[in-house]
Structure 1
Amino acid sequence: MILHLVSSPPQINLDLTDCVSNSESDATLQHNCLHVTGSIDKETDSRQFISYCMNEYSPKWNIQSNSRERKFTFVELYKHNITSRHLYLWSAPMDVAERYQFYLDQLSISNEASMATQLFYNCTPPRFGPICQYAFDDYRPDHLSLNEIIHDFYLHGYEPTTLTCYVHLQCDRGPAPACLDWSEICDGKVDCLDGGRDEEHCWQLEANECADDQYRCVNGQCIPYTFFRDNTAIPDCLDGSDEYFESKDKRANCKIAESVFECEDLTCTIGHRSWASPLTSSCAQSRSDLLIKAMFLHKPNSVLDECWSAFLCIIHGSNPSDTICGDFCVGQTFNHERKTVRSSYGIKIEF
């Protein structure tokens, strides 16, 4: 029987591997999570704890039985004096290590052996998971930690191709892949084209009063007063009003940064951030870029071709030096009579 005698870097322990649901109605249930600190570079990020989880309907995955990796029953581990800490250091999922510890506890008080045949898969790096079914595409043997793997991933200019969506509010955000982002709720502009649900009841925030031991953010949110001006790198208000920002271009930095608070848990609204986008209140530049690309793929049938071409030229969807734009513009002035065009995303432009 051969097992790792020392911890093999990087240590990767999945969590919530036993919480996978077989019900399609629970498709949003998070499972198979990796928990990491926010960054390996900034000491000020020590408070940030990020979970990367799966939430897809588990039966969609065709996971085949693994015959390459060695596996051991709990009773075999027990006979070789293996502890739950050993399993943890060998990148076993948290649920497996906890079940094994429960098995050991049961042995100390009874002869209960119902868990004796449960398995631990001794994964060979870079494989990890309950049955060694996962691996990172960009894994390198010199990575010392999971944080380094994630950090290096973002250093390579990751360009997302899909958008994350807030699914708890029915909203027609426009043609796919556009969808409502949490930051677009109560941001002062209507984003849902089917009734403006994203701005309903927002007056309650404006009228909100905070307790004496709380700080009232500009947007009406209440936070503990101890969080006020406690760390310039980690705002606690969603609008960031509890801290002074040291940088004016954090939005650009978010394009290549880990999912830290200043990129994921803040809103960037027009009038409050110099780098804000008119299309979204998300601080992630990539979201605005994807919305612009998607917008140009859908020309409303009611819009004339010349109106659509002008629309693209105005917001620089086309290269201003293109012949089409040249036909419309002379010294930044349009030659044609005043007209109005409204895109599928509710953006109205007159020219």
Structure 2
Amino acid sequence: MQTLVIISQTLLYLCFSVLMGSFLIGLVPSTYRPAINSSRRLLIICTAGIPLFAFIPVLEVILYLAPRLGAAESSLSVLTSFTIGKAWGWTLVLAIGLLLAALLVKEHESALFNTTGAILTFLLIVTIAWSSHASSIAPFSGFVGDAIHLLAMSVWTGILVIISWRAANTANWRSFLTWFTPVAALCFIVVTVSGLLLMNVLIDGYVASWTSPYGQGLLFKHLFVILLLFYAGINGFWVKRKLKNDQGFSPIRWARLESVVIFMIFAITAAFSQLSPPSEGEMDDPSKLFMLTYGKEIPLNAAVQLEWSGMGILLLLLAIACGALLATAFSKQAPRLMVLLLSGVLVLCLYLALMTSVVLV
């Protein structure tokens, strides 16, 4: 069941991105973006997918209670008494409204339709944040932090995903980058601030959390965000300069590679968000991955610190070298597989650099 939940939450994040990106791109004048192959079917599928994928965690709770209460009573109890069930009810109502708009409105290019769609998508994000782990721990700060975090991520990644996979051509790409680069930078700042707020709610210490499965997942997410920033810098600045000097250059494949990193971040987020944060109590078992890289027993009530070791510095330098190779691979338009392999090595080197510099005292 947990695997199904992880898959559903990954697809849920993707649906939010596609919807938010579609509606926001629809509000941008055609002279400031490439032509987009709009798809009513895609909007309908993503809209229908939100209540479907959001229901999987609700179903998990129902199945947990069913052996004691019965299927009917547990379903009624979860949907009417539990926050996760009540939030899903609002998710369903809002999704039906958005689905009806997608089905009945013919002018999907109109500002009214796209504005309404963006507002309804935001409200759907609010319902998901209402039932989040952070919201259950800190009803106000956790809820606000999660809603802002998911909104900013959906705006940033959504526009990129739509441009990457639905652009009909590369016309006006430089004009698109002119406004999208600062928008992406603003979204990153909001994601960072809201992420820090959520970390303050969910964990007692960032480095200390690395001994737990939740903390390991959080660390991997942040490492892939660093990789995403690298890609964003390439696509935001190098591609813009390349387009100026080479009219035949196509930036789409590089934008699609960035969207692959985004999907990986969604999957990692979905995976570790199903685990209990370490602030909810002492971990009975430390992360197996942490134990594998740390290689020693964890003393009882040990304090976790980060002190750069010789091996950690060496691995960090290797990561920097991988970054330089990755930039070269972009400039030389190397095969995408090579770029992805270098990206994986970069993340691995950064991870091992941190793990070999962890000290327990």
TM range (shorter): under 0.3
Rg larger for? 1
The structure with more helix, counted as a fraction of residues: 2
Structure-2-length-normalised TM-score: 0.23
Q: Highest relative contact order (Cα 8 Å, sep 6+), 1 or 2? A: 2
